[in-house]
Amino acid sequence: VSVNGKDQPEATISLQPSLYSNYHPGIASSILANLDTSVQGTRPIKVSVVDNGGVPIDATVTPKSPRKIKVEGKEVTLRPFVLNLSGIDIEFVADPQGEIKGENVAIQKALFIPKGYEDAFEDPVAKYKELSQPTHEVKTLTAQKVKMRDGVELVCDIAMPAEDGKYPAILVRTPYGRAGQMLGANWWAKRGYVYMVQDCRGRQDSGGAWDPFVPERKDGKDTIDWMAKQPWSNGKVGMIGASYGGYVQWAAAVERPAALKCIIPQVSPPDAMRNIPYENGVFTLLPNLWWTNIVRDKQTHLERATQPLPNGDKLKTLPLSKLDDVIFGENVPFWDNWLKREGMAKWAKGYDTISDMPKVTIPALHISGWWDGDGIGTKTNWATMRAAGRTNQWLIYGPWPHAFNTSTQFGDVDYGPKSVLELDSVYLRWFDTWLKGKPVGFDKIPHVQAFLTGANKWLNLSDWPLKSSPVKRLYFQDAKSLTEKPVKNGKQARYTYDPAAVQIPPQLKGNLMAQSTTKAPIGKSNGKQLVYRSAPLKSDMALGGPISVELYFSTNVVSTDFYALLLDEDEKGDTRIVCLPGKLDVRYLQGLDKPRLITPGKTYKATINLWDTAHLFKKGHRVTVAITSDMFPGTARNLNTGEPLFSATKMKVAKQVIYQDAKRPSCLTFRLLPVK
């Protein structure tokens, strides 16, 4: 096929196993044509994404058992198969001639089915007769304009029941283009909901300037207030959405619009200093660049998500304010703004929701995964709401990455068929409860569902963490051991961090999304890291969040970073990370409001909060902790000088001292889970 676009030369791409980035089945049949159906089991395959320059992506294909359906009175045998593409499962069914007759893209809530083949996929919601049924005809309003308080107009599409009436509404706000989010709109409109998708400020067809996250509080409230005044509104609005679409729900909720009755924030970031662009003061370099590449102009470029980062060999460019120019070949205004806004005080009442979250009283269904790059948001949001005494909160934590609930696999680990949940009925039951007042039993659903890795099963819990869960500590000793008690006169442990010596990994030349893994061959303590291991466990031990490392340290510099990793080492010595690591720039020891330099040589206590997990360490395995100051290029280098990130170029070698005695007991802290 030949493809070309605006300001791009025509390119010819060989039609090997291929997809469009919207997964449309029109071209996906080439995958089936290249599939040897006589071979059973999962096999690797390379798939080219046509509108992504034809870059081949490593994928797998798994044939499933044939199924029979009736089409116009005749029995037809369909062959299902599952394509796993960068961790995302896409299910296809094909007829005996090899023509695709159905495609289910769960991540896009998109179901492609030709007329007559409606039974190709089972509707998991159909059995719940107590929930709203698809009885309505649907009408759609496109390119509707909603005026904000400053006069800027944001554009939205709306699907609603065709019959005149007053209905509850569901709002989705997105920076990625409303067309993709509208794929599931009819599903809701048929069930008696108005479903509205809006382009955020400065995105796609909406007006205004694009300053990520900052305007969403005011824009969210103004949009909901507008919806409540429409003739089709019954005055009740709920919200749903993932990632940025999860954050905008909290941004609106802290403004407390009267019509907003409930939210479903999925894989939602928290605020500017706890995830993106900073995590506890650490600039999360590679994730920030990856996302900037997708949204750096008015149109969204999701095809770039699987492309190698442009000019990845230039990642050591300084100052960081020049890095966007070097990587992308252009200046990205919001990149510079991010670097200038060090400290929460510079984001106040913009990309800042946590401080006002205790005022929120509406129900929230929090959803995330242990491997979600924004999972710290769900951890923080949940903890904030529970600390405020809110009991109308529910939480689902799966073994998922950011593309949550789309695959049973993460890297080379398969968590089993039950690790993916049927959530459509959960969402419908949620909105039926809070927007329609239907008594459909949502109160019977456990407040917390957490997937226990290592055992690969779901835990139904009353809270997170359980108040009855005992706290356990393992203490650092001799730069190599984790012990049950601190050592009275333990020796100091030392290592060196040189920001000039970091390396750019060769993996950056490939598809970053396809490189996810829990494997981490961590080794032993050396001059660049400290590694602590427990004795082999005498019995199984289930660990849960919150997880932290209490680190007593001193250093010779005024600023530096510390990272804490938690790993599971088996009897063979193979290690895997258990949860995403904790990060801390020591300039924020006294709070995230602003950076404060520390005193060289002085002893400090730092609490490094790791991300949540629920994991079973099996008998004979070792609990392992690694401490380092280098996670480049995942995070930007701390140059150890305390200069502003925007302009810093000078470097200094940091000599880190970790204390591990009874008076300064550096340790790992976690909760024990009650698992039989």
What CATH number does the domain containing 437 carry?
3.40.50.1820
Q: Using CB atoms within 10 Å of the CB of residue 643, give its burial: 0 to 12 exposed, 13 to 18 middle, 19+ buried.
A: middle
The one-letter code for the residue type at 397 is Y
DSSP H/E element including 544: strand 541-555
pLDDT of 665 above 90: yes
Residues 453 and 520 in one domain: no
State residue 62's pLDDT score. Answer: 86
State residue 177's pLDDT score. Answer: 94
Boundary residue ending a domain (413, 441, 461): 461
152 half-sphere exposure, CB direction, 13 A CA radius: 19
Other Cβ atoms closer than 10 A to 10: 8
Assigned domain for 535 exists? yes
Q: Between 7 and 661, whose confidence is greater?
A: 661
Q: Are 247 and 213 a contacting pair, CB within 8 Å?
A: yes
Residues 433 and 331 in one domain: no
Residues 333 and 379 in one domain: no
Residues 444 and 515 in one domain: no
Q: Between 461 and 29, whose confidence is greater?
A: 461
Domains: count for the chain: 4
pLDDT of 143 above 90: yes
Assigned domain for 187 exists? yes
Assigned domain for 447 exists? yes
Q: Using CB atoms within 10 Å of the CB of residue 21, give its burial: 0 to 12 exposed, 13 to 18 middle, 19+ buried.
A: middle
Assigned domain for 128 exists? no
Q: Between 121 and 139, whose confidence is greater?
A: 139
Average pLDDT, the chain: 91
Work out the average pLDDT over 137-156. 98
pLDDT of 88 above 90: no
Least confidently predicted of 103-117, 397-411, 482-496: 103-117
Instruction: Report the CATH number that the domain containing residue 527 is assigned in CATH.
Output: 2.60.120.260
Boundary residue ending a domain (461, 494, 517): 461
Residues 86 and 161 in one domain: no
Q: Are 646 and 299 a contacting pair, CB within 8 Å?
A: no
State residue 19's pLDDT score. Answer: 64
Residues 191 and 96 in one domain: no
DSSP symbols for 446-490: -SEEEEEBTTTEEEEESSSS-TTSPEEEEEEETTTEEESS--TTP
Residues 204 and 62 in one domain: no
pLDDT, tens only, 420-434: 999 999 999 999 999
Residues 556 and 646 in one domain: yes
Assigned domain for 265 exists? yes
pLDDT of 552 above 80: yes
- pLDDT above 90 covers what percent of the chain? 74
Q: Are 385 and 360 a contacting pair, CB within 8 Å?
A: yes
pLDDT of 510 above 80: no
Q: Are 296 and 277 a contacting pair, CB within 8 Å?
A: no
pLDDT of 636 above 50: yes
Q: What is the DSSP letter of 640?
A: S
d(CA 126, CA 104): 17
State residue 481's pLDDT score. Answer: 95
Assigned domain for 485 exists? yes
Work out the average pLDDT over 169-176. 98
Assigned domain for 218 exists? yes
pLDDT of 64 above 90: no
Phi first, then psi: what are they for 13, rounded to 5°? -125, 130
Residues 299 and 178 in one domain: no
State residue 27's pLDDT score. Answer: 58
Least confidently predicted of 9-18, 186-195, 276-285: 9-18
- According to DSSP, the β-strands at 604-609 and 529-533 are unpaired
Instruction: Name the pLDDT band for 602 (thresholds 50, 70, 90).
Output: very high
The one-letter code for the residue type at 418 is K
Residues 520 and 579 in one domain: yes
pLDDT, tens only, 18-55: 666 566 665 566 676 666 666 678 888 887 766 655 66
Q: Which of 190, 172, 189 is nearest to 181 (CA)?
A: 172
State residue 1's pLDDT score. Answer: 46
Q: Which two tokens stand for residue 436?
A: 């329609």
Residues 386 and 256 in one domain: yes
Assigned domain for 466 exists? no
Residues 313 and 375 in one domain: no
Boundary residue ending a domain (339, 363, 379): 339
d(CA 330, CA 293): 11
pLDDT, tens only, 259-316: 999 999 999 999 999 999 999 999 999 999 999 999 999 999 887 887 888 999 999 9
The domain in which residue 228 lies consists of 138-273+348-461
